[in-house]
């Protein structure tokens, strides 16, 4: 009874005058348990609820702090991983750019060497054409000289024959043996001169042909050596490109943690 009286006397439990609660309180009588009014939660229940609320709030606050700390740690880890990947990607791009620069310098050097060989080839071809032209002119001049010699020899032969006819006419009464001997001597002299001229012509022509053949063989050897150098240069260039491509792919595969991303970056750099 004292407990109920203290609860009823609590200011929070005193109903306002004229309210339905005040009427029910006025109508209530001790010992009438069926008509007892609802006095609300007791102070102990209120204290228990407040304690539960404080515990729940403290647990919620602790979980929130743990979640915030975990989120900060995850954010820090993510930023560290992003910075590491960014640094690694920049280092890979720098290596690829250095490889590309080396390839460009080597290709420039090979192009210059190829142009130099082409210029040398053109110069040698022009020199060969000039030499062939000079040899052809000399050969034509020698052929004309030989023809003039043959014509001169023919003219001399005609003169000798005319002289012989004149001598035959003047010395008609000489002995036939002496006339035949002179004619034979003249004929032999003419044949020897003609044979000598022909032999000189043939020897000179043979010498020119041999010189021409030697010059032609020398030119063919030079052209063959130049073509072999060009082929070797092209083979070295192809081998260098293949080695550079292999080195680029190996460095790309060994340095990149994400193959698909690195291959895409490499394709962007190559384009």
Tens digits of residue pLDDT in 110-144: 989 888 888 888 888 888 888 888 888 888 888 88
Q: Is residue 53 part of a domain?
A: no
User: Quick one: DSSP state of residue 58?
Assistant: H
The total domain count for the chain is 1
Q: How confident is the model at residue 40 (pLDDT cuts 50, 70, 90)?
A: low
Cα separation, 216 vs 135, whole angstroms: 11
Note whether residue 102 is domain-resident. Answer: yes
Distance between CA atoms of 211 and 229, rounded to whole angstroms? 27
Lookup result for tokens 């006025």: 26
Is 14 part of a structural domain of the chain?
no
User: What's the pLDDT at 232?
Assistant: 93
Q: Is residue 42 part of a domain?
A: no
> Would residue 239 count as lying in a domain?
yes
Indicate the pLDDT class of residue 228, thresholds 50, 70 and 90.
very high
CA angle, corner 68, sides to 67 and 72, nearest 5? 115
CA atoms within 13 A on the CB side of 234: 6
Q: Which residues does 72 contact at the CB level (< 8 Å), separation at least 6?
A: none
Q: What percent of the chain has pLDDT over 90?
A: 10
pTM for this entry: 0.25
The answer to whether 75 and 42 are in contact (CB under 8 A) is no
Q: Which of 240, 232, 243, 231 is nearest to 106 (CA)?
A: 240
- Is residue 240 in some structural domain? yes
Q: What is the pLDDT of residues 148-189, one digit of tens each?
A: 888 888 888 888 888 878 777 777 777 777 777 777 888 888
Is there a domain that residue 199 lies in? yes
How sure is the predictor about 4, in pLDDT bands with cuts at 50, 70 and 90?
very low
> Whose structure tokens read 């309210």?
19
Residue 35 is assigned to a structural domain of this protein? no
Q: Which long-range contacts (CB under 8 A, 24 or more apart) does 177-181 make?
A: none
Distance CA 188, CA 157 (A): 11
Which candidate, 125, 114, 128, 135, places its Cα nearest to that of 229? 114
Structural domain containing residue 249: 60-270
């Amino acid at each position: 009874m004292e407990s109920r009286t203290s609860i009823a006397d609590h200011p929070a439990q005193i109903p306002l005058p004229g309210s339905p609660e005040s009427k029910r309180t006025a109508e209530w009588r001790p010992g009438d348990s069926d008509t007892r009014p609802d006095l609300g939660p007791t102070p102990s229940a209120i204290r228990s609820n407040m304690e539960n609320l404080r515990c729940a709030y403290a647990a919620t606050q602790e979980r929130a702090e743990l979640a915030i700390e975990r989120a900060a740690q995850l954010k820090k880890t993510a930023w560290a991983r992003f910075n590491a990947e960014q640094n690694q990607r920049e280092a890979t791009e720098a290596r690829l750019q250095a490889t590309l620069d080396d390839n460009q310098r080597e290709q420039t050097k090979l192009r210059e060497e190829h142009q130099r060989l082409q210029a040398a080839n053109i110069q040698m071809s022009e020199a060969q054409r000039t030499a062939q032209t000079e040899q052809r002119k000399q050969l034509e001049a020698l052929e004309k000289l030989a023809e003039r010699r043959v014509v001169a020899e023919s003219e001399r032969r005609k003169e000798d024959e005319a002289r012989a006819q004149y001598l035959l006419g003047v010395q008609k009464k000489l002995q036939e043996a002496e006339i035949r001997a002179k004619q034979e001597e003249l004929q032999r002299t003419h044949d020897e001169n003609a044979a000598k001229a022909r032999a000189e012509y043939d020897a000179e022509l043979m010498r020119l042909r041999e010189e021409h053949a030697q010059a032609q063989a020398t030119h063919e050897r030079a052209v063959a050596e130049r073509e072999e150098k060009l082929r070797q240069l092209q083979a070295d260039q192809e081998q260098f490109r293949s080695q550079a491509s292999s080195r680029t792919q190996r460095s790309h595969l060994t340095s990149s943690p994400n193959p698909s991303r690195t291959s895409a970056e490499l394709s962007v750099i190559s384009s």
